[in-house]
Amino acid sequence: MYDVVIIGGGPAGMSCGLYAGRAGMKTMIVEKMFSGGQMSTTNEVENYPGVENVISGAELAYKFENQARKFGVEFLNADVTGVQLEGAVKKIVTSQETLETKTVVFAMGTVARKLGLEDEARLTGKGVSYCATCDGAFFRGKDVAVIGGGDTALEDAIFLSRFCSKVYLVHRRNEFRGAKVLQDQVLQTENIEICYQMVAEKILGENRVEGVVLRQAENMAQRQLTVQGIFVAVGSDPSSQLVQEVLELSKGGYILTDDTMQTSIPGVYAAGDIREKQLRQIITAASDGAIAGFNAALYATKFVPFG
């Protein structure tokens, strides 16, 4: 039996594992893809305290994982298919095995939100992407569009501008929501063209993306862009399907916790972007993870098998 099982290997999950491992807890992190979560897909991280030079998200994730392993944290690459959280012994059903544990921490983060266009799913992986860092290199020398107006969209546009011929940044409003420093960089980049107050209405292409039709938000006028890639950066939704009927959630589907990161079930915690909170950044995910790891370890030391 484990003391702490953490579902999700992003910065929240690995920070949680680090604190639980340092507390002497037998700890397992279950991650279905790769350590780091969305952090691994971030091209540049420059606002993590103590890291003075710009570092890639993948490199920072590697450091997180190595540090967690240093304190005995185990990693399991598997998909979680079910959970049993009531009672003293919690069970985590995975695609490989069923784990028994004293405490559980949910740190599955969020998933990219879709545009909801007719051919979006059909052309995903054929020009439609939700990760510029992952797929940007496939579009070297080509024209692409980035849809969105927050930090991620601005960062994606800047990143893609380094090797794409042209980057169209499509935003439904007349001003961006992203950080001022990113806005300034976008405005200073010659091969980025901003399409204000426009929304994507139709993706063009049979076997691959060939263009996108935009609609002007106010007067309904249309504009067609000839692009080979469309990068969607319009926000994200919590990966909370696993606990929808089990834990108390916000209207947006985020897990509700108290200040100790405990959920509506004792011994069950949540950390990182999956939790209802104001700011979702690597540092806040790591902070949540530390608090959850500390309190999960505290709960595990008071474990009563049949209590």
Query: What mean pLDDT do residues 242-270 have?
Result: 96
Catalytic residue among 3, 16, 79, 135: 135
Whether the predicted pLDDT of 75 surpasses 80: yes
- For residue 21, what pLDDT is reported? 98
307 pLDDT tier (thresholds 50, 70, 90): very low
Q: What is the pTM of this model?
A: 0.81
Q: Tell me: the pLDDT tens digits for 188-233? A: 999 999 999 999 999 999 999 999 999 997 788 999 999 999 999 9
Q: For 175-191, what is each residue's pLDDT tens digit?
A: 998 899 999 999 999 99
Instruction: Work out the average pLDDT over 8-27.
Output: 97
CB-count exposure of residue 125 (10 Å: 0-12, 13-18, 19+) = exposed
- pLDDT higher than 70, residue 266: yes
pLDDT attached to residue 142: 97
Cβ-based neighbours of 226, under 8 Å, separated by 6 or more: 143, 210, 211
Average pLDDT score, the chain: 93
150 secondary structure, DSSP code: S
Q: What tokens were used for 191?
A: 């091969």
**Residue 304: is its pLDDT beyond 70?**
no
Tell me the per-residue pLDDT of 117-165, one tens digit each, with 9 for 90 and over. Answer: 999 999 998 999 998 988 898 999 999 999 999 999 999 999 999 999 9
Task: Give burial (CB, 10 Å; 0-12/13-18/19+) of 10.
Answer: buried
pLDDT in the model for residue 278 = 87
Query: What is residue 305's predicted lDDT score, i.e. its pLDDT?
Result: 67
Residue 48 CA: distances (Å) to CA of 29, 31, 42, 182, 287: 23, 23, 13, 16, 12
Among 119, 131, 151, 237, the one annotated catalytic = 131
Say how far apart CA 271 and CA 303 lie, in whole Å.
21
> Active-site residue 195, yes or no?
no
Fill in the DSSP letter of residue 114. Answer: P
pLDDT value at residue 303? 74
Tokens 């971030």 -> residue: 42
- C-alpha 197/C-alpha 191 separation (Å) is 19
Residues 6+ apart with CB under 8 A from 217: 172, 173, 197, 198, 199
Question: Longest C-alpha distance within the chain, in Å?
Answer: 67
List pLDDT tens digits, range 95-113.
999 999 999 999 999 998 9
Contacts of 152 (CB under 8 A, 6+ apart): 178, 233
The answer on pLDDT for 64 being more than 90 is: yes
Q: Give percent of the chain above pLDDT 70.
A: 99
